[in-house]
Amino acid sequence: MLTSLADWLTHLESLHPKTIALGLERVAQVKQRLNLNPDFPVIIVGGTNGKGSVCAMLEAILHAAGYKVGCYTSPHLLDYNERVRIAKQQASDAELCASFEAIEEARCVGRASARQAAVGLKPDLQGAIQLTYFEFGTLAAMQCFIAHKVDVAILEVGLGGRLDAVNVFDADVSVVTSVDIDHVDYLGDTREKIAFEKAGIFRQGRVAICADTDVPQSLRTHAGDIGAELWCVGSDFGFAAHQGQWDYRSKLGSRSALPHPALRGAFQLHNASAVLAALDALKDKTPVSMEAVRRGLTEVELTGRFQFVPGKPQLILDVAHNPHAARSLAQNLANLPPAKTFAVFAMLKDKDMAGVVQALDAQVDVWLVAGIDAPRGASATELSQVLKDAGVRGEVVVCDSITESLHEASKRVSENDRIAAFGSFYTVAEVMQVRGIRTR
């Protein structure tokens, strides 16, 4: 009987033969049956990297401005509830289960029903609409937001944009944070192909924001073809950093003497300026004061993105899992005071492992590699071979698990050294579990 969130999540995982099945037809049918038509502004955030940071800053600023904010992000680190937040609080198990049941009822027809699922019977899928885990969760998040009557919703794209489940909803403003090579099996193997997929979240007559300094032509072309109003960093909006502060300017105005975001990292001002551009685009629907902007920037939190864990030796958590994110992590590490760096490293095998290794080679002194116990996880042997082929300068130590990698690093490290755990959400999640670190 599906009485717990864990039961429902297990059920969701069994509904579709594929983990990823891009396309909007199935999810749009269930959306229509449920009449999920939000009457509040919707912000959709896509991009190769930076999506989480932009969503977190938008959520923090809008919350500081007094709005009830719904925020849907993925994946989660420890608990599924992290994906759905209302007024900066994670949705409860009961709320999520109620939404899942409503979606199950809507997607099924005939004898296949939520009632069957509730008594532990596998629904007859003939005639039922098959949804993936992510598609089911996306609809559930919006159902929760509508039920709570939020003032504004922020939706993070799961993969790509054009065919991603969140794109079944129309964005009042869309943000593409960055464009780089990732998920080539689904999105294409060039920036131009990937940019076209990400630009699919743009809408006619509405503002579309791009925070990548090298805007692909396919993104510009698509925005023009559909009649979206494209704002690009550097030309339509931008920022200037000063000692301890920064200034923002756009075609609609400027904000000066702003505090740096509480999120660490070299690229956070790019992300923050995209956030303020999105708020500019929505200023008639959700006006935001300078006080709210300052408060949101200083109070924003995001687990696992260049996150420093208090104490010595220094422990840094970063979910960086593609070359673009790895280059950002490398730059951030290079900006820290010199120290010996021990990497707790594990990745999924369908990611660009060699690209991540090459990006971080110069910053890592000891690689403690482990496998990920998941269907897509690379083994420690596979990772060590990637490191060997790359000719990394640092020592390579093969471990049985991420937990063992962390323990081995802890034994070797001195008080003034640092441990950096990266490569996947799985990597960071296991380190958090071992250290008893909770999500923010």
CATH code of 94's domain:
3.40.1190.10
Same domain, 317 and 269: no
Q: Does residue 367 surpass a pLDDT of 70? A: yes
Same domain, 337 and 294: no
- pLDDT value of residue 13: 86
Same domain, 343 and 278: no
Q: Does residue 21 surpass a pLDDT of 90? A: no
CA proximity to 45, closest of 213, 209, 262, 238? 209
Average pLDDT value for the chain:
92
Same domain, 323 and 271: no
Same domain, 353 and 288: no
- pLDDT value of residue 248: 97
12-21, 23-32, 136-145, 309-318 — which is least confidently predicted? 12-21
CA proximity to 343, closest of 286, 274, 272, 392? 392
Question: Bridge-partner residues for 174, per DSSP?
Answer: 44, 208
Q: Quick one: pLDDT band at residue 95, thresholds 50, 70, 90? A: very high
The secondary element (H helix, E strand) that includes residue 424 is none
Same domain, 408 and 355: yes
Total structural domains within the chain: 2
Q: Quick one: pLDDT band at residue 14, thresholds 50, 70, 90? A: confident
Q: Does residue 112 surpass a pLDDT of 90? A: no
Q: Among 233, 264, 299, which residue terminates a domain?
A: 299
Same domain, 114 and 247: yes
Q: Among 253, 278, 299, which residue terminates a domain?
A: 299
- CATH number of 379's domain: 3.90.190.20
- pLDDT value of residue 119: 40
Q: Does residue 123 surpass a pLDDT of 60? A: no
CA proximity to 339, closest of 423, 431, 421, 414? 414
Examine residue 404 and state whether it is found in any structural domain, yes or no.
yes
Claim: this prediction has a pTM higher than 0.85: yes
**Burial of 120 (C-beta count, 10 Å sphere; 0-12/13-18/19+):** exposed
Residue 198, token pair as written in the block: 């990400």
- pLDDT value of residue 390: 96
Question: How does pLDDT run across 220-277, given as a tens digit for each residue?
Answer: 999 999 999 999 999 999 999 988 899 999 989 899 999 999 998 878 999 999 999 9
Range of the domain at 399: 307-435
Same domain, 312 and 270: no
Same domain, 157 and 216: yes
Question: How does pLDDT run across 127-136, given as a tens digit for each residue?
Answer: 789 999 999 9
341 φ, ψ (degrees, to nearest 5): -110, 125
Same domain, 419 and 329: yes
Question: How does pLDDT run across 150-186, given as a tens digit for each residue?
Answer: 999 999 999 989 999 999 999 999 999 999 988 777 7
Examine residue 440 and state whether it is found in any structural domain, yes or no.
no
Q: Where are the alpha helices (DSSP H) in 199-267?
A: 217-226
Question: How does pLDDT run across 66-89, given as a tens digit for each residue?
Answer: 999 999 999 999 999 999 999 999
Q: Does residue 297 surpass a pLDDT of 60? A: yes
Same domain, 88 and 237: yes
CA proximity to 323, closest of 352, 366, 294, 364? 352
Residue 331, token pair as written in the block: 């730059």
Q: Quick one: pLDDT band at residue 126, thresholds 50, 70, 90? A: low
Same domain, 207 and 223: yes
Question: How does pLDDT run across 307-356, given as a tens digit for each residue?
Answer: 999 999 999 999 999 999 999 999 999 999 999 999 999 999 989 999 99
Q: Among 299, 320, 348, which residue terminates a domain?
A: 299
The widest CA-to-CA distance across the chain, in whole angstroms, is 66
Examine residue 323 and state whether it is found in any structural domain, yes or no.
yes
Question: What's the CA gap between 417 and 434, in Å, rounded?
Answer: 20
Q: Quick one: pLDDT band at residue 440, thresholds 50, 70, 90? A: low
Examine residue 92 and state whether it is found in any structural domain, yes or no.
yes
Examine residue 272 and state whether it is found in any structural domain, yes or no.
yes
10-24, 53-67, 293-307, 323-337 — which is least confidently predicted? 10-24
